Chain A
Amino acid sequence: MQIPPLSERREMTCDVLVIGGGTAGTMAALTAAQHDVQVLLLEKANVRHSGALAMGMDGVNNAVIPGKASPEDYVADITTANDGIVNQRTVYQTATRGFAMVQRLERYGVKFEKDEHNEYAVRKVHRSGSYVLPMPEGKDVKKVLYRQLRARNVRARVTIENRVMPVRVLTVDGRAVGAVGFDTRTGEFVTISAGAVILAAGAAGRLGLPASGYLYGTYENPTNAGDGYAMAYHAGAELSGIECFQVNPLIKDYNGPACAYVANPFGGYQVNAEGNRFVDCDYWSGQMMAEVKAELDSARGPIYLKLSHLPDATITEIEGILHTTERPTRGTFHAGRGHDYRERDIEMHISEIGLCSGHSASGVWIDEHAATTVPGLYAAGDMALVPHNYMIGAFVFGEIAGEHASVFARTASRPALPEDQISAAHELIYRPLSNPDGPPQAQVEFKLRRFVNDYMQPPKTERYLSLGLESFERMRGDIARMGATTPHELMRCAEVTFIRDCAEMAARASLARTESRWGLYHQRADLPASDDERWFCHLNLRKDATGAMEMLTRPVAPYIVDVPGFTRPDGIPNEPVGTELAGAWA
């Protein structure tokens, strides 16, 4: 294709622009539509099968159901799992609004498991409370949500544009006023003017290179390349906890979840090669991952998900869940190797690194109303910092973002879009077309992500992290020379720039936090101890006025919930919840 002239563009306008049509983005769009604003939902894939739930989900990891658990227990559990560094007001929203969200999803047609007394069949995986709720027909969750998006009353309010990928959020006087991107099939240049913008673009899942070497064989949906992290950063928003990497225990090579959460209630569990359990709690946390890594590196490795001791009928039931919902090709993978859960336990390993607040705690800094530090810019889902927020948290914060962005958009002035930013984005998108003989994206991306593995995988040290940073700076040159000839290749090339931005953020944040914290997630081999005096705080980063990456710390907000067995090292006393937040609990 040819580079289109800057002036040749499709100009769209809306009240609320939602970037990403996955879990959070879909809920944000549905909620904004209820608030009577015009919504534009951009999805670089197709909303019918996009985001982390592309093929479905087998259950909810964090539903606080009245009578089964309390919001206070949940907030305390998440606070403990994050070594105390959480804004409890955000986590409290997930805790108190999760049940209403489960009911909203039920009204839409999502099925949750009930017991013989018609009560929600929650299971215990976390350290103290029971929040895990299976979704027996979870393979249909995207279908159910899509039906809502296309309902007549919603259709009048929500315009969906599939295969349109934004690369930058546009700002005027520090406020978000729209976005700029392109159609990944036609190459058409696109600008959007909006009253408010919601970023819901998923995790930075294509950061580390999987051990298989296959670029797209990532734990996260590989379309989630860190687009939202990069767009928020360049719009001037603060990001936080970027040093708290996501690392997960997975099926070796397949690189998908082994699903101890699914197997646990049936009697499955993780063992080392000697057949012994080695973690006392299967809940994914940095501490648990440190224990997994230690076991893999010891003479007791490898590790397995043990199912072979279970009766045939039980295994058939487990297969019925695991081989049909979240990652249905698991069965294909095992069959291809001639492996059967009845005869052979499932070898596990640890994943490549990523950034994801759905599982860990790295993302765009938001308050309890999903607002970022940039007025008019909201964030939700895996990319927004609400620790361990998972699917229910993505739905809840999508809903919150939809509400608050609608209110903001209604009174927002609509300035002319900034031509200098549009021109810079045009250059970012189309530059590879002017180097058709430059190195192709696949090679550039492989090299970039290999450096991520070489230098960033925990345990981290200052020397390795510094070499990583040097490599990511050098890769700017490779990226500038990268070549492409089709709109599809331009999409992948733009993603490589997002990956590089995320890698640099990960290196700088990991260097700045001069201590170890969160188990394996930020394990510094050169600084193995935690330093509560200096580092019991959030580490945030943002783009400063000169374009440089600036680090800053923010104190941990006063707790609103007591955490049994944990004393804040800074001695800041608790605050009352306040009526606005407390009112959300049914």
Chain B
Amino acid sequence: MAQATNRVDVPVSVDQSKCIDGCTLCVDVCPLDSLAIDPETNKAYMHVDECWYCGPCAARCPVDAVTVNIPYLLR
């Protein structure tokens, strides 16, 4: 099957300048397991556009690096 890469606006953003190297708190608590650690930067990011905009990721972040936006289609 032909593959395409479509850009999507993902709801959760992580401020890379604040995110703590090696911390996985947001990744650990996401019900949909949609956050991951980038192996190159060691920082968290949203790896799939699967989000209930529920908020544990932001609530757990010790340095307020995580922002939960409403998914674009609902916004």
Contact = CB atoms under 8 A, between A and B. Distances in A.
Contacts of B50: 215-216, 222, 492
B74 A253 contact: yes
A499 to B, nearest CB: 14
Given A214-B74, A253-B74, A329-B68, A46 B53 contact: no
Contacts of A48: 28-29, 56
A433 B70 CA distance: 32
Interface string B50-75: 11111110010000000011110111
Contact of A333 (B32, B48, B70): B70
A222 B70 contact: no
Contacts of B71: 212, 214, 216-217
B28 to A, nearest CB: 6
A45 B1 contact: no
B32 A332 contact: no
B31 interface: yes
A55 B58 CA distance: 11
Contacts of B70: 254, 329, 332-333, 336
Contacts of B74: 212, 214, 217, 253-255, 333
Interface in A333-347: 333, 336-337
B15 interface: no
Given A212-B73, A212-B74, A329-B70, A184 B51 contact: no
A491 B53 CA distance: 20
Nearest to B68: A329
B23 to A, nearest CB: 15
A212 B74 CA distance: 6
Q: Chain B interface: which size bin?
A: 20 to 34
A49 B33 contact: no
Contacts of A163: 33
Contacts of A253: 74-75
Contacts of A213: 73
A223 B68 contact: no
Contacts of B28: 46, 48
B1 A438 contact: yes
Interface string A196-223: 0000000000000000111111100111
B26 to A, nearest CB: 11
A54 B54 CA distance: 7
A223 B34 CA distance: 11
Contacts of A184: 33
A223 B32 contact: yes
A349 interface: no
A55 B51 CA distance: 13
B33 A221 contact: no
A488 interface: yes
Nearest to A185: B33
A526 to B, nearest CB: 34
Contact of B31 (A185, A221, A488): A221
A49 B29 contact: yes
A459 interface: no
A221 B56 contact: no
Nearest to A481: B1
A343 to B, nearest CB: 20
Nearest to B29: A49
A542 interface: no
Contacts of B52: 54, 216-218, 221-223
A439 B3 CA distance: 10
Contacts of A336: 69-70, 75
Contact of B55 (A214, A223, A328, A437): A328
B61 to A, nearest CB: 13
Contacts of B75: 253, 333, 336-337
Pick the most buried of B31, B53, B59, B70: most chain A CB atoms within 10 A of its CB.
Answer: B31
B73 A217 contact: yes
Nearest to A205: B52
B6 to A, nearest CB: 11
B70 to A, nearest CB: 5
Nearest to B72: A214
Contacts of B69: 332, 336
A221 B31 CA distance: 9
A329 B29 contact: no
A383 B74 CA distance: 27
Contacts of B33: 45, 163, 184-185, 488, 491
Given A216-B50, A254-B70, A332-B53, 20 more contacts: A46-B31, A49-B31, A54-B52, A54-B56, A55-B59, A163-B33, A184-B33, A212-B73, A213-B73, A217-B53, A217-B74, A327-B53, A328-B59, A329-B54, A333-B74, A336-B69, A336-B70, A437-B1, A438-B1, A488-B33
Interface of A: 45-46, 48-50, 54-55, 163, 184-185, 212-218, 221-223, 253-255, 327-329, 332-333, 336-337, 437-439, 483, 488, 491-492
28 contacts: A45-B31, A46-B30, A49-B31, A54-B52, A54-B56, A163-B33, A212-B73, A213-B73, A214-B73, A214-B74, A216-B32, A216-B51, A216-B52, A217-B71, A221-B31, A221-B52, A222-B52, A223-B52, A253-B75, A254-B74, A327-B53, A329-B53, A329-B70, A333-B74, A336-B70, A483-B1, A488-B47, A488-B48
Interface of B: 1, 28-33, 47-48, 50-56, 59, 68-71, 73-75
Give the 5 A-B CB pairs with smallest separation, nearest first: A49-B56, A45-B31, A437-B1, A214-B73, A329-B53
